[in-house]
Amino acid sequence: MDLSFTPRELEFQQEVRQFLAGNLPPHIVEATASNSSVFVEKDIALAWQAILVEKGWAVPQWPTEHGGTDWTPAQKYLFSKECYLAGAPMLIPLGLLMLAPVIMAFGSDEQKRELLPKILSGEHYWCQGYSEPGAGSDLASLKLKAESDGDDYIVNGSKMWTTHAHLADHIFCLVRTDSSGRPQQGISFLLVSMDTPGVSVAPILTMAGDHEVNQVFFDNVRVPKSNRIGEENKGWQYAKYLLEFERGGGFSAPRIQHELQRLGKLVAATRQEIADFDADGEIARRIARLHIDLKALEITELRILSSVSGGGNPGPESSILKLNTTRLEQSINELSVDVLGYRGFPMNPIADGIPNRPDYISSVVPRYLNNRAASIFGGSQEVQRNIIAKMVLGL
């Protein structure tokens, strides 16, 4: 593909810039800058989502018939880039970019009519029930049992590490409907309302001090079979499809570019303060390396995501994006902590030593700690390498 932008695309970029200048509220920018978690606060994300929905720009990746845009891949990329550079938050992808593509591809017409508008408007806030105690990388060994009882399933067991389960009103779950064959063969994909009797949520606090993840318990939870996506025992196919979107359904390079800009500001502030800062040029070399790696990621991302345009799926190449995005983000986190040095201690740094301390500095160490999990969630780095070896390289 041609990776340069046409005059029309550059005009579009200006239009996006103008829209952001007039419509991105400062309190959303501030909340995004000081956020140290994977997702911004729910109310902040939903406030920004509502503004984008009104403009018709909330889900450029969706087909137009469901409320998406007819933008080219380059326009989608430029939109994402301008949003991040302006300090806008990432919309929470669980419903919008993970569940919605599965509903579009495998859901019934009624499920599409009923659920997609509620995901888009933010009326439904979803969480992802895949992992369980003992079923993470080896996801197919999951045990959450769904037993048939007339038109319903009775669900028993638990899900682990469920991000935002304490904030969500719905959960999409992988359940075991058959244990007789290969583990992959007896899995179904079920949608459950969190207020169904028998569903309960217990918090898990991370080492960054955040409450993001939870364990969700199911105690004789009655779920209508009409809440199942697709066919019974075919859920593994839908689950893998969703993971492609989780690992590579959006643009990460613009977000990383924004993080590199923040690192640049941190370095500039530190340089003013410390006369012999980076005397041996090691930090400058690491920053140069990050910029080179970012360029490579940007081109790979554009190449892969151009194939997603118009409702396709990212394919196993999404593992390349997940692997490299995580590596780059964690390298930026590490370098930021190195630059901050002793001022980053204790965990929530005061950073008094830096004049005109920008807001984002207090989130450097919490962000570093929180983002250690990026090489685990969505499938660990080792698992991504296994997928690349088998599915992309054919080894």
List residues with catalytic annotation.
Answer: 246
CA dihedral 109, 115, 224, 102 (to 10 degrees): 70
User: How far, in Å, CA of 86 to CA of 260, rounded?
Assistant: 14
Using an 8 Å Cβ cutoff, are 361 and 354 in contact? Answer: yes
Residue 92 is given by DSSP the state P
CB of 20 vs ligand FAD, minimal distance in Å: 29
192 pairs with which residues across the strands?
171
Q: What is the 3-state secondary structure (H, E, C) of 356-368?
A: CCCHHHHHHHHHH
Per CB under 6 A, 377 contacts ligand FAD: yes
CB of 332 vs ligand FAD, minimal distance in Å: 18
User: What's the burial of 206, exposed, middle or buried (CB within 10 Å: 0-12/13-18/19+)?
Assistant: middle
Per CB under 6 A, 161 contacts ligand FAD: yes
CB of 269 vs ligand FAD, minimal distance in Å: 30
Per CB under 6 A, 71 contacts ligand FAD: no
**Closest to 101 measured CA to CA, from 253, 233, 229, 254:** 229
Among 257, 260, 386, 388, binds ligand FAD (CB under 6 A): 386
CB of 141 vs ligand FAD, minimal distance in Å: 10
User: How far, in Å, CA of 257 to CA of 255, rounded?
Assistant: 5
| Contact residues for 221 (Cβ-Cβ < 8 A; gap 6+) | 154, 155, 156, 192, 196, 197, 198, 199
Per CB under 6 A, 188 contacts ligand FAD: no
Question: Which stretches within the chain are classed as H helix?
Answer: 7-23, 26-34, 42-55, 73-85, 93, 100-106, 109-121, 235-248, 253-273, 282-305, 318-340, 364-370, 381-387
Within positions 123 to 142, which residues make up the interface with ligand FAD, using CB under 6 A?
127-131, 136-137
CB of 53 vs ligand FAD, minimal distance in Å: 24
Per CB under 6 A, 36 contacts ligand FAD: no
Of the pair 160, 304, the CB lying nearest ligand FAD is at 160
CB of 379 vs ligand FAD, minimal distance in Å: 5
Of the pair 62, 126, the CB lying nearest ligand FAD is at 126
Of the pair 38, 116, the CB lying nearest ligand FAD is at 38
Of the pair 19, 125, the CB lying nearest ligand FAD is at 125
Residues composing the chain: 395
Of the pair 39, 153, the CB lying nearest ligand FAD is at 39
x/- contact string, 200-219, with ligand FAD (CB under 6 A)? -------------x------
User: How far, in Å, CA of 256 to CA of 294, rounded?
Assistant: 7
Q: Which residue's Cβ lies closest to ligand FAD?
A: 136
Stretch that binds ligand FAD, among 160-168, 217-225, 239-247, 293-301 (CB under 6 A): 160-168
How far does CA 282 lie from the centroid of its chain?
A: 32
Using an 8 Å Cβ cutoff, are 151 and 225 in contact? Answer: yes
CB of 160 vs ligand FAD, minimal distance in Å: 7
Of the pair 210, 334, the CB lying nearest ligand FAD is at 210
Given the rule CB under 6 A, which residues bind ligand FAD? 127-131, 136-137, 161-163, 213, 373, 376-377, 379-380, 382-383, 386
